[in-house]
Amino acid sequence: MEKELEGKVAVVTGAASGIGLASTEAMLAAGARVVMVDRDEDGLKSVSRKHGNAVIPLRINLLDPEDCATLLPRVLDQAGRLDILHANAGSYVGGDLVDNDTAAIDRMLNLNVNVVMKNVHDVLPHMIERQTGDIIVTSSLAAHFPTPWEPVYASSKWAIHCFVQTVRRQVFKHGIRVGSVSPGPVISALLADWPAEKLQEARDSGSLLEASEVAAVVMFMLTRPRGMTIRDVVMMPTNFDL
């Protein structure tokens, strides 16, 4: 396999499981050194043992503002540079709004929106100085469709879709590409919060994606010629679109 990311340093948030782990594995296979950011220390250690020095595990609680702000300084201290940020960490709140817990709403909006904005904000000066960089945000099909069973989650992804598309226009002059991948439902821990009947319906109809399929799209975006930006990829199981 061609090492298309040889010599690159990537940061993946929410890297210990699901899409983040699949993205990490794909970037490692392409030759990148990957800084894995997660709260799951055991998960980070497991991947680090498997891949050795190609992985730099960083246990960061992104919901803690002080801890979140350490991301770039720690990356630069341990890796010396940053070429790719995959802002993937997120959580899910579904169901009827009237039944949602307001503390869970606050936590989800903070992680899905505020943390993404802060992570991107913090890495941009480094990328602008180097006049190159790639930022990919894990969005969702929910960013493009008013999903009636998840108004809070969908709203967070609509917000971040706007953020990605506007920041992209601000920073392309610095050689920085910003895009998002918007998958339909992916087999991951987030689905644990789906309404049971909706999850069973998706399983029965073959309407779920594998995390590795999303990672393949991330790699497609990262490996385009520098003069090309893939601003957003919407992907879903064919059966989900019926």
Answer yes or no: are the C-beta atoms of 30 and 4 closer than 8 Å: yes
100 HSE (CA, 13 A, CB side): 21
Quick check: is 92 catalytic?
Answer: no
Q: Which tokens belong to 179?
A: 């895009």
Residue 101 Rama label (left phi>0; alpha psi -120 to 50; beta): beta
Q: Rg (Cα) of the chain, in Å, rounded?
A: 17
Give Cα separations from 224 to 149, 183, 231 (angstroms): 35, 20, 12
Answer yes or no: are the C-beta atoms of 132 and 83 closer than 8 Å: yes
Q: Which one from 153, 158, 163, 194 is the annotated catalytic residue?
A: 153
Residues catalogued as catalytic: 153
